[in-house]
Chain A
Amino acid sequence: MRWIIQSALILDPKGKHHNKVRDVLIENGIIQDIKSSLKAEKEDRLINAKGMNLSLGWIDLKANFRDPGFEYKEGLLNGLDAAAKGGFTRVLCMPSTLPAIDSKAQVVYLRSRSAGHAVDLLPAGCISQGGKGQQMSEMFDMMSVGAVAFSDDKPIERTALMNRSLDYSRELDVPLMSICMDPDLADGGVMHEGKMSNSLGLKGIPSVAEEIRVAREIEVLRYSGGKLHLMLLSSKRAVEMVRKAKKEGLNITAGVAAQQLCFTDKDLASFDSNLKVLPPFREESDRLALIKGLKDGTIDVICSNHEPENIENKKREFEHAAFGNSTIEAAFSLICKGSAEKLGIDQIVHALAIGPRQVLGDEQQSIELGNKAEFTLFSADVSSEYTKDSWISKSLNSSIIGQTLPGKVYGIVNGEQLVLQED
C-alpha cells in the first residue's frame, strides 16, 4: 500500500524540509521518501495537498470522552472521530470517568476499545485511587499496559499526595498532570472574578485560586523531583511563575486550552453557559500573557480541553450549568482565531505537535525517513464553517457551532490509516 502526498508545504521546525513544498511517499505506514517531486506508480494512491500544510500529527494532551460511565455525552469512538476531524493523531484521554481509570483493567479497556482507530488513544490513569485524592493508584501496573501519564483531572487537595506521587513517579519517568485551582478560594465561583463578574452578579473565581496552587506544585516539585505538567494555565501570574521555574531548571511543562486564547470574561455578558469553563476565561491581559508564554516557550502545549456535556446539563441557569465546552473538532480554529497573528504558524505547530511529544518523552520530534507516518494536513489561511449538522461530537455544548472561523484541517495520516475530511 503506497500513498503519495503531493505538493504539501512541510511545517517541521526541527526537520530539514521545514517550509518547503514536498511530495511524501508513505509505504505501509512508513515514510519512505520525501522529495520536491516524486514519480508515482500506477497503483499509488495520490493525495493532492497543494495549498495545504503538513506537520507531524497533532497530540491533544487533555480531552474527556466520558467513557466509561457517561457514554451519552461522547463515548470513546465518537470522541476519536471528533479528534480526527480536529487534526489530532493521538489524544490523551482523561481518567475522570465512572468508574475512574485507576487500574490496569480499565487501561486495558481503553486500549482495546480504541484499537484500530485512526487516532491513537493514550490513556491517562488517575494519580489517586478512584480519583478521590487520598491514596496513590497503581501507576506502575497501569503503565505496564499502556498508561502514559497520570492525573486526577481535578485539583489534588492533599499536598502530601502530590508530594508522594511526584516522588514515586520519578522512577517511572512519567509525567504527572496537574490542574491548579484551590477549591476553597474558588469558593463556588462560576467565572473569573473581576469587573465582569461584579457586573453580572456571578460569583467569581479569583486568579489567586490558580496561582497559589501553581506555587505549591512548583515548590513540591522542587522538593520531590519528578516530571510535572500543568495542564491548563489561565492567569498571567501563573505564566510568570512557570517561566521562573523553568529558568531555574525544574522539570516542569505547561499547557493552555485552545479556547483560552480566544475568549475573555467579557464574552460571558450574555450568560452563554457554553462559555462556562474551568479554568474560567480571564481578562485580556491574561489572554495576551498566555500567548506570550507560548511564544517564549514557557507554555509548551495547546490542548483542546474537550469537555462534552449533554444539553440537559448545559441549557439551564448559568449557575446550575455544568462546566465545559465541546472543542476538540474546532481546536485549531480557536487557536487561529485567538492567536494566529501573534503566534505565527510555526509556533502553533510546535504547541500542537512538538511540545506534546516533549511532555510525553517521545523522541521523534521531526519528520524523517523510516519513521511511522503520522501527519496532520491543514491550513491556517482557509476558514471552516461549524454547523450542527457537521458536528461530530455527541454533545452540542459548543460556542463554536454556527460560526465560521479561520483555520481548516484537511485530514490526518496515522501509520496505515488515512482520514480525509470531505469537501
Chain B
Amino acid sequence: MNNQLSVQHLLGIKDLTPEDIQLIFKHADEFKDVINRPIKKVPTLREITIANMFFENSTRTKLSFELAEKRLSADVVNFSASGSSVSKGETLIDTVNNILAMKVDMVVMRHPNPGAHQFLSQHVNTTIINAGDGTHEHPTQALLDAYSMREQLGELQGKKVLIVGDIKHSRVALSNIFCLQKLGAEVMVCGPSTLIPKHIAELGVQVSHNLDEALAWCDVANMLRIQLERQGSDNHVANFPSLREYSMRFGLSKAHLDKLDKKIIVMHPGPINRGVEITSDVADSEHSIILDQVENGVAVRMAVIFLLAAKIKRN
C-alpha cells in the first residue's frame, strides 16, 4: 500500500481513491490505540499549526477536530463566525489569508456554501480539510462512518447500507454515498420523496419510501438528523407536513428492529432528535454504535491530519 495520500487537501470524498481511504483507516487503527492509552498524545505534529475555521455552528465536529489536533501535539487556533464572512463584509479569501499570515499551516473549515473549500484551494496557499460545506460534502464524517461500519462488519465490499431521512439537505448522505461506493458497498436511501433529491438514483443508489422494506434489505441503517432549521420558512413550502407524521413513517423504533430476522447496526451522525429519527430504546440499545462513531471520529481525523501534514513536511 502506498504510504501517502493522492491529494494535497481533503476537499471531498469524491477526490479520494479507494487506496487513500484504506490508508486513512490503517492510520486510524493506530491512532485509536493511542487515544485509548493513559497518555493519549503523540508528539508527531509539534511543528504544525492548525486553524479551525467554523463559519457555521458546530459542536461535535469542532470538538472532535480540536481533540484530534491536540492529540497529535499540533498548535491549534479557533475561529468562529456565526453566518459567513460575507455577512461581515470581508471576503472568505481575505479572512483566510489574514489567518495564514500568522503562519498557520493547515485550515480545517466548515462553511455553509457548497464548493467553498474547492474555491479556497484555488486562491490561497495552505492545506485545507473540509469539515462540511453546506449540502455538499462532509468527508471526515463519511470516513468515520465507514470506519465504524468496518469495525463491526469487516471490509464493506458487498455490504448493504441504508441511509434514512433528510437526504436532500445532507452533506453526510452525499459523502457517505461516495465513500461507501468507493469501498464496494451498496447504498439505499429512504425517506419521503420530498427529502430525496429527484436525480439521486443517477448516482447509483437505490431509493425506498418504505422504512420496513428498507430495513429488511440492509446490514446497516444510518439515521440522519432531520434538519429542522432547513425545513421551511414563510417563503418556502415545507418538505413534510409535520414532525409527527415524519416520525410515524420514518422514525426508527424498537418495534421495527424486533420485526427483523437479523441484527442490523444502527448509526446516527448526531445530534439526535430523540423520538423523531430514532427512539431512545433504539439509540441506547446494543444495535446502536452511535458513541463508537464519536470515538472513531477523533481517530479518523487524527489520521487525516497526520497524512496531510506529512505532505506539507515533504514539500
Residues of A within 8 A of B (CB): 187, 193-195, 197-204, 206, 270-271, 273, 312, 315-320
Contacts and interface: CB of A to CB of B under 8 A. Distances in A.
B174 A318 contact: no
Contacts of B84: 317, 320
Contacts of A193: 198-199
Interface stretch (B44-52, B113-121, B275-283): B113-121
Most buried by B among A198, A312, A317, A320: A317
A198 B134 contact: no
B115 A316 contact: no
B interface: dominant SS:
mixed
B115 A200 contact: yes
Nearest to A187: B236
A198 B174 CA distance: 8
Interface of B: 14, 84, 86, 91-93, 111-116, 118-119, 123, 133-137, 171, 174, 197-200, 202-203, 236
Given A271-B118, A317-B113, A201 B200 contact: no
Given A200-B136, A201-B136, A201-B174, A317 B115 contact: yes
Nearest to A196: B199
A187 B168 CA distance: 14
Contacts of B174: 198-199, 201
B86 A200 contact: no
A315 B135 contact: no
Nearest to B198: A193
Contacts of B118: 270-271
A8 to B, nearest CB: 44
A21 B98 CA distance: 62
A118 to B, nearest CB: 38
Contact of A198 (B86, B93, B137, B200): B200
A188 to B, nearest CB: 9
A279 to B, nearest CB: 18
A56 B64 CA distance: 67
Contacts of B137: 201
Given A195-B202, A319-B113, A201 B171 contact: yes
A147 B167 CA distance: 50
Contacts of B116: 317-318
A281 to B, nearest CB: 15
B199 A201 contact: no
B223 to A, nearest CB: 20
A interface: dominant SS:
loop
B31 to A, nearest CB: 29
B83 to A, nearest CB: 12
Contacts of B199: 193-195, 197-198
Given A201-B114, A203-B135, A318 B171 contact: no
B200 A316 contact: no
Contact of B91 (A271, A316, A319): A316
A211 to B, nearest CB: 15
Contact of B134 (A194, A204, A270, A319): A319
Contacts of A312: 91
22 contacts: A193-B199, A194-B199, A195-B202, A198-B202, A200-B114, A200-B136, A201-B114, A201-B115, A201-B135, A201-B136, A201-B171, A271-B118, A273-B119, A315-B91, A315-B93, A316-B86, A317-B84, A317-B86, A317-B113, A317-B116, A317-B119, A319-B113
Most buried by B among A193, A204, A318: A318
A196 to B, nearest CB: 8
Contact of B114 (A195, A270, A316, A318): A318
Contact of A199 (B111, B123, B203): B203
Contacts of A197: 197, 199
Given A195-B199, A319-B115, A320-B113, 14 more contacts: A195-B203, A200-B114, A201-B133, A201-B136, A201-B171, A202-B114, A271-B114, A271-B115, A315-B91, A315-B123, A316-B91, A317-B113, A318-B114, A320-B84
A273 B93 CA distance: 15
Contacts of B113: 317-320
A267 to B, nearest CB: 14
B114 to A, nearest CB: 4
B86 A320 contact: yes
B92 to A, nearest CB: 6
Contacts of A317: 84, 86, 92, 111, 113, 115-116, 119
Top 9 nearest A-B pairs (CB, nearest first) are A201-B136, A271-B115, A195-B202, A317-B113, A201-B114, A201-B135, A319-B113, A318-B115, A317-B116
Most buried by A among B113, B116, B136, B236: B113
Contacts of B133: 201
Contacts of B134: 201, 319
A266 to B, nearest CB: 12
A48 B50 CA distance: 64
Nearest to A270: B118
A276 to B, nearest CB: 10
Contacts of A316: 86, 91-93, 119
A197 B136 CA distance: 9
B131 to A, nearest CB: 14
Most buried by B among A206, A273, A312, A319: A319
Nearest to A268: B115
Contacts of A194: 199, 202
A198 B196 CA distance: 10
Contacts of A203: 135
Nearest to B134: A201
Nearest to A194: B199
Contacts of A315: 91, 93, 123
A318 B113 CA distance: 7
A206 to B, nearest CB: 8
Contacts of B86: 316-317, 320
Contacts of A195: 199, 202-203
Contact of B115 (A198, A202, A204): A202
